[in-house]
């Protein structure tokens, strides 16, 4: 059994070893759970992290063929298609994602980005103005809208959007740049020059930060985090089907890789609760809503890349 093969081995110490473990686990998920959309989706994520985009996309398609309403698989296909520059398919898949997970913000922002890249400016405006949840703040949304209105020549609206972004983050470089372009076109050259000077300083600071990040970058830790996140999803799935021992083993493995892995911690806590009070309705806490699937360790979907939606990734 792959689980014992993998999880009885020492914790991987190098990036290469982590990638090898990803491969083993992906194969296990693909063969042991061929009809589980959740596990196929997790296998796809592992393939994606390994850079195997073709295989990842195939797995997401397999998941869709089992459950065409599964939003995370549509999201995965959309990501791959966008990376390949196939904007039309990406847009279609993002729309499918949002159809089956209408509250998800991250795919919505990503769709906006792809629409802009595809030159569908009016569609992007419509999406970001009308479909975006009013309760969510997103600087990225404002800067994209600013960009759209700038393309349309609507300088007043573009300016408003960039100013809204800057009101949330005065150092947002995209907004500073966009606003400086608006000001130039509005004839406010002096103000634009001031913004440009400020932008240069902000960019220099960003570069310094990036250098520091690069200097301290722990690639092994990042890969370990990705694998641990998938383990968290697997553990949650196994717990949901009452495979408690396997779930525990895998959650422990996740924590070995990344001690603060939240999904794994939560799974272990739930297992303990289950053991302490067998009649407790722990499993009921697992929502069946597609926007909060048992395997979903993110709040807005399963993006293999990207962070919080408040800023452009």
Partner 1 sequence: MGLVIFAAPALLLLTLLVPGCRPPEPAKPPSPKTADSATQASLGSPEKNVENQSVRPAPAFFRFRDVTDSCGIRFIHTDGSSGRRYVIEPMSAGLLLFDYDNDGWIDIYFLNGAPLPGYTGPPSPRNHLYRNLGEWRFLDTTDEAGVGDTGYGLGVAAADYDNDGDEDIYVNNFGPNVFYRNNGDGTFTDITHQTGTANGEKMGAGVCFVDIDRDGWVDLYVGNYIHFTFDLHISRTINGVPSYPGPLDYTAVPDTLYHNQKDGTFADISGPSGVSQLAGTTMGLVAGDFDNDGDDDIFICNDVRENFFLINDGSGHFEEAATVRGVAYDASGSPQASMGVDCADLNRDGWLDLFMTSYQNETVTFYRNLGKAFFEDATAVTGAGAGSYPYVTWGVVLADFDNDGDKDVFIACGHLDDNVELRDRSTSYRAKNIILMNKGNGQFVNVSSQSGDGLQVAKSSRGAAGDDLDNDGRIDIVIVNSRESPTILRNETPTPYNWLELVLEGRASNRSAIGARIKVVAGSLVQYDEVHSGRGYQSDWGRRLHFGLREHIEAQLIEVTWPTGRIDRWTHIPANRIVKLIEGETDWLTVQPARSSPSFPRKKPRHVVSINSRGAAQIRRYF
Helix axes 106-117, 71-83, angle to 10 degrees: 30
* Candidate residues 23, 24, 33, 52; the one interacting with partner 1 per rule CB under 8 A: 52
By CB under 8 A, which span of 15-23, 61-69, 230-238, 267-275 interacts with partner 1? 15-23
Exposure class string for 108-134: b at 16+ Cβ within 10 A, else e? bbbbbbbbbebebbebbbebbeeebee
Applying the rule CB under 8 A, the residues between 56 and 95 that interact with partner 1 are: 80, 83-85
* Candidate residues 144, 234, 235, 268; the one interacting with partner 1 per rule CB under 8 A: 144
Does residue 238 interact with partner 1 by CB under 8 A?
no
Q: What is the smallest separation between the CB atom of 22 and partner 1, expressed in angstroms?
A: 10
Q: Which is nearer to partner 1, 130 or 215 (CB)?
A: 215
Q: What is the smallest separation between the CB atom of 192 and partner 1, expressed in angstroms?
A: 5
Does residue 136 interact with partner 1 by CB under 8 A?
no
Does residue 175 interact with partner 1 by CB under 8 A?
yes
Does residue 184 interact with partner 1 by CB under 8 A?
yes
Does residue 147 interact with partner 1 by CB under 8 A?
yes
Does residue 210 interact with partner 1 by CB under 8 A?
yes
Q: What is the smallest separation between the CB atom of 276 and partner 1, expressed in angstroms?
A: 41
Q: What is the smallest separation between the CB atom of 229 and partner 1, expressed in angstroms?
A: 15
Cβ-contact 145, 125 below 8 angstroms: yes
Cβ-contact 93, 75 below 8 angstroms: yes
Q: Which residues bind partner 1 (CB under 8 A)?
A: 14-16, 18-19, 49-54, 80, 83-85, 116-119, 121, 143-144, 147, 150-151, 173-178, 180-181, 184-185, 189, 192-193, 196, 199-200, 203, 207, 210-211, 214, 219, 223, 312
């Amino acid at each position: 059994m792959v689980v014992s093969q993998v999880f009885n081995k020492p914790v991987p110490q190098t990036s290469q070893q982590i990638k090898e473990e990803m491969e083993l686990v992906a194969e296990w998920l693909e063969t042991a759970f061929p009809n589980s959309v959740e596990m196929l989706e997790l296998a796809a994520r592992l393939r994606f992290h390994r850079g195997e985009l073709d295989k990842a996309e195939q797995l997401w398609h397999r998941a869709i063929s089992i459950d065409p309403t599964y939003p995370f698989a549509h999201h995965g296909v959309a990501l791959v298609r966008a990376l390949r520059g196939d904007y039309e398919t990406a847009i279609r898949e993002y729309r499918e994602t949002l159809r089956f997970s209408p509250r998800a913000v991250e795919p919505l922002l990503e769709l906006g980005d792809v629409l802009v890249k595809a030159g569908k400016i009016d569609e992007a405006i419509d999406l970001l103005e009308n479909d975006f949840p009013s309760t969510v703040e997103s600087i990225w949304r404002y800067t994209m809208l600013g960009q759209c209105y700038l393309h349309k020549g609507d300088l007043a609206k573009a300016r408003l959007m960039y100013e809204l972004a800057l009101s949330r983050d005065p150092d947002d470089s995209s907004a500073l740049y966009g606003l400086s372009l608006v000001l130039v076109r509005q004839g406010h050259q002096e103000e634009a020059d001031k913004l440009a000077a400020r932008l240069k300083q902000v960019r220099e600071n960003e570069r310094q930060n990036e250098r520091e990040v690069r200097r301290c970058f722990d690639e092994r830790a990042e890969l370990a985090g990705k694998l641990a996140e998938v383990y968290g999803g697997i553990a949650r799935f196994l717990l949901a089907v009452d495979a408690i021992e396997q779930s525990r083993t895998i959650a422990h493995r996740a924590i070995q890789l990344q001690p603060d892995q939240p999904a794994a911690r939560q799974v272990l806590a739930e297992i303990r609760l289950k053991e302490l009070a067998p009649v407790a309705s722990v499993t009921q806490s697992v929502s069946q809503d597609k926007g909060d699937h048992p395997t979903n360790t993110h709040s807005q979907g399963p993006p293999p890349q990207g962070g919080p939606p408040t800023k452009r990734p």
